[in-house]
Structure 1
Amino acid sequence: MSTAVTITAPSVKHILLDSLVVMKIVKHVDSELHAGISEVSGDACAGVLTGLVFLEDSRLEITNCFPTVRNEPVIDDDANTPQAAQQYEEQKQQEMLDMLRKFRTMNIDYEIVGFYQSHQFGAGFSHDLVESMFDYQAMGPENVVLIYDPIKTRQGQLSIRAWRLSTAALDLASKNDWRPELVKSAGLTYQNMFEELPIIIKSSYLNNVLMSELALSKSYSSDKYSTRHFDLGSKKSLEKSVRAMMANVDELNKSIQSLTKYTIDKQRHDNMVFSLTQKRQQENESRLARGDPPLPMDDIKRIKAPQLQTRNGLLDELLASFDTNALADFSKTVTSENITKLFIAEAVAEEKVVGTKDRTLSSVSSTR
């Protein structure tokens, strides 16, 4: 991350997402799934978003996108591993520039306005993702990231959410310093680290007419009472989300222990420095009274302060908390929907049983 970056507050308040972008993202994830490149969740699918920024309307319009090259594994025994990685990055950048040049030739919006990634359950916020978000927002303050949830989409609900780093998080990311003191002074928590923007999906007029005709057609109306809407089908996804939540909670518990130890050591260090400073000041006052030169304070200032025993300060803890919150929201939504479906299915089953009994009684009475 660069340290010489001017933080500019974004002015975009909502996003107008073209339906073409939605179809491309869904097709990208599903194609890698069916090709066996990715797992069931469709992780690691990413791409670049292009569009336009309308400052007068505080609107970001995303009109097109294209996938980026997947990272290839590097062999550890290769002697030219750094050179190979650098060559791969250069090739990746060249392919991106070529695609943008083709967009420009075809008179398509070629201005980069962010990127998209697919993550199961809408989570997956990592240190690499924060670095990518910082790089894009440093390039343009209006840039965003779209997080696509393939699992929820395959369950019948399209899930695409737009995020960006808050101004306080951008400031800390520019310094690449996530010490507890700086995070506390910035008032940063996992709740205000990211900002979510509302998304409006834009469709063409012909598409709207087609959807209206499908809604009014007899085949659609006869199928809307189908029992497939009562299918739960979320046991595996709910189990995975709970397991991921448990892993995040375990990491948070370890981080809390490290933070507690750091707080105790920091308080002990501050008390020791304060007592030594007071003692040195009293000694200097006595030396000045005797006409002797005062002693310097450099040796006290050079006392090494304790360090938080984590890789990236509080960044990993903030991301784990945000991931846990996203997983909890997914579990809450799925559970509430399943409970509603169970109650509806129970009511429908009771109604069918009552109707069957009435028909049986009527047939018996008619035979008599």
Structure 2
Amino acid sequence: MAAPSMAAALAASLPAPAAAPAPAAPVYEAIPPSMAKVIDIEAEIALQVVQLDGMVVSKILKHAREATSGTVHGLLLGLDLDGTLEVSNSFALPHHVSDEDDKSAKSSAKYQASMLRSLREVQADDSVVGFYQATSLGAFFNQNLVEIQAIHQDKLRHGGVVIVHDVSLTARGNASFRAFRLTPSFLDAYKKSNFSTTSLISHRLTFSAILEEIPLQVRVNPLLGSFLSKLTQSSPSPLPDPAPDATRTAVIPPTFSALDLRTSGLTRNLEQIIETVDNYKNEEGNVAFLQRQIARERLKAENYIQKRKEENMARAAQDLAPLPEEDVARLFKIPPEPSRLESMLLLGQIDAYAKNLETAASSGLIKMYSVRN
């Protein structure tokens, strides 16, 4: 009995613990009117232009040039301010041989999370604002792009954007970058997973109404531009008394790709058009087969209903109880109407190949005419 009383005495002799101070209520300061439009917390300002930093452009070009596979894609990082989506950084995503493999998807997700966490630790931009994808001959319509962009537009502010880089135009000396996002009508049909003929008509969807283009600008840091303009090296001059500018040449040599008269690109373009037209014919054949199957099943169901009506009329004439009406959907498995999404995407690819062929052919004719004269 002595021990408990001693413990009680010691406890009573200790000073009472100080009450924890109540946390102060947070004070929120009103956003100044001059900054309210710029901050745009509720994302009420419509996206008007996409601004690519010069470093992002160089990183995408480098990734597309060094890629060993045809799949080149990565994430864009930045911030949207006052209707301008400023893309200040990017990083490439690894390419997996099997994109459908669960392990590949999990590995890619872990890589993205690791990269974003590393950027956050060094206090760099880690806000995802979209993704980029490299393409060739202007044909970027595919299921993968649509699926990724649909996810981004559902999760990101202002829906995010996809930057399409055309490698074939860059090879001719014209760096091609375009910004797109899905149209509201297409996104509505995509969320409903309904691309039947009736849905396409009600949403007024064609291949040209899948994506809407957003104006794009390239911003070069003045310090970087000054560095590139001064990036020269000394070289001997054959002149006896050369001027100071004649003794220095740029480290980056000039490109003469615009004077290339080869037609290898045209041949590849025609091959892609033929291949895509064949794919479109096969897809249309599959759709026609499914539609015929649907028509046969519907005809069977209609004949069954008509036969049951005639039997009930005959039984009613004989003062007999009518036969019960059975569930036609359970008796006849009528397939749903096939999706026309793949056909629309293939038409978009054909259109892109045709426009690229027109541009390349007209440019080639001008070059050949100039050489001849």
- After TM superposition, the score normalised by the length of structure 2 is 0.70
* C-alpha distance 190-104 of structure 1, shift in aligned 2 (>3 A): same
Instruction: Decide whether the 8 Å contact of 1:166 with 1:194 is kept in 2.
Output: yes
Structure 2: tracts of 5 or more residues without a match: 1-42, 232-244, 250-254
1:317 equivalent to 2:343? Answer yes
Distance across 1 between alignment mates of 2:144 and 2:257: 39
Q: What does the per-residue CA deviation read over 1:193-212, in whole Å, with 9 as the maximum and x for residues that have no partner?
A: 22222211122234566789
Q: Secondary structure in 2 aligned to 1:232?
A: coil
1:292 to 290, 307, 321: 321
Instruction: Decide whether the 8 Å contact of 2:63 with 2:72 is kept in 1.
Output: yes
Distance across 2 between alignment mates of 1:122 and 1:10: 31
Quote the offset at 1:121 in angstroms: 1.3
Q: Secondary structure in 2 aligned to 1:317?
A: helix
Q: Secondary structure in 2 aligned to 1:16?
A: strand
Distance across 2 between alignment mates of 1:257 and 1:293: 44
Distance across 2 between alignment mates of 1:328 and 1:265: 34
1:203 maps to 220
1:110 to 100, 104, 126: 126
2:210 maps to 193
Quote the offset at 1:230 in angstroms: 3.3
Distance across 1 between alignment mates of 2:257 and 2:91: 34
1:305 to 327, 334, 347: 334
Q: Secondary structure in 2 aligned to 1:146?
A: strand
Structure 1: tracts of 5 or more residues without a match: 1-7, 75-81, 221-225, 348-368
Q: What does the per-residue CA deviation read over 1:12-42, in whole Å, with 9 as the maximum and x for residues that have no partner?
A: 233111121111100112233xxxx33xxxx
* C-alpha distance 150-272 of structure 1, shift in aligned 2 (>3 A): same
2:91 maps to 66
1:99 equivalent to 2:99? Answer no
Quote the offset at 1:48 in angstroms: 0.6
Q: AA paired with 1:100?
A: L
Quote the offset at 1:249 in angstroms: 0.5
Instruction: Decide whether the 8 Å contact of 1:277 with 1:300 is kept in 2.
Output: no
* C-alpha distance 265-70 of structure 1, shift in aligned 2 (>3 A): closer
Q: AA paired with 1:47?
A: G
Larger RCO (CA within 8 A; separation ≥ 6) = 1
Pairing 1:1-368 to 2, within 5 Å after superposition: 11-32=46-67, 37-38=68-69, 43-54=70-81, 56-57=82-83, 59-71=84-96, 86-140=102-156, 141-206=158-223, 229-233=258-262, 235-274=263-302, 276-277=304-305, 280=308, 290=319, 292=321, 295-299=324-328, 302-306=331-335, 313-347=339-373
* C-alpha distance 183-10 of structure 1, shift in aligned 2 (>3 A): farther
* C-alpha distance 277-228 of structure 1, shift in aligned 2 (>3 A): closer
Quote the offset at 1:66 in angstroms: 0.5
Quote the offset at 1:246 in angstroms: 0.4
Q: AA paired with 2:89?
A: N
Quote the offset at 1:126 in angstroms: 2.5
Quote the offset at 1:231 in angstroms: 2.5
* C-alpha distance 343-227 of structure 1, shift in aligned 2 (>3 A): farther
Distance across 2 between alignment mates of 1:316 and 1:345: 43
Q: Secondary structure in 1 aligned to 2:137?
A: helix
Distance across 2 between alignment mates of 1:307 and 1:211: 60
Quote the offset at 1:332 in angstroms: 0.8
Count of aligned residue pairs for this structure pair: 311
* C-alpha distance 88-300 of structure 1, shift in aligned 2 (>3 A): closer
Quote the offset at 1:268 in angstroms: 4.8
Q: AA paired with 1:332?
A: E
Identity %: 26
RMSD between aligned residues: 3.7
* C-alpha distance 89-298 of structure 1, shift in aligned 2 (>3 A): closer
Q: Secondary structure in 1 aligned to 2:131?
A: strand
Q: Secondary structure in 1 aligned to 2:159?
A: coil
2:35 maps to none
Q: AA paired with 1:98?
A: S
Quote the offset at 1:87 in angstroms: 4.8
* C-alpha distance 269-240 of structure 1, shift in aligned 2 (>3 A): same
Q: Secondary structure in 1 aligned to 2:334?
A: coil
- After TM superposition, the score normalised by the length of structure 1 is 0.71
Distance across 1 between alignment mates of 2:211 and 2:316: 55
Q: What does the per-residue CA deviation read over 1:255-301, in whole Å, with 9 as the maximum and x for residues that have no partner?
A: 22333344444445445544554564566577678583563241366
Q: Secondary structure in 2 aligned to 1:191?
A: helix
More helix per residue: 1 or 2?
A: 1
Q: AA paired with 1:318?
A: M
- Rg bigger for which structure? 2
Distance across 2 between alignment mates of 1:25 and 1:284: 72
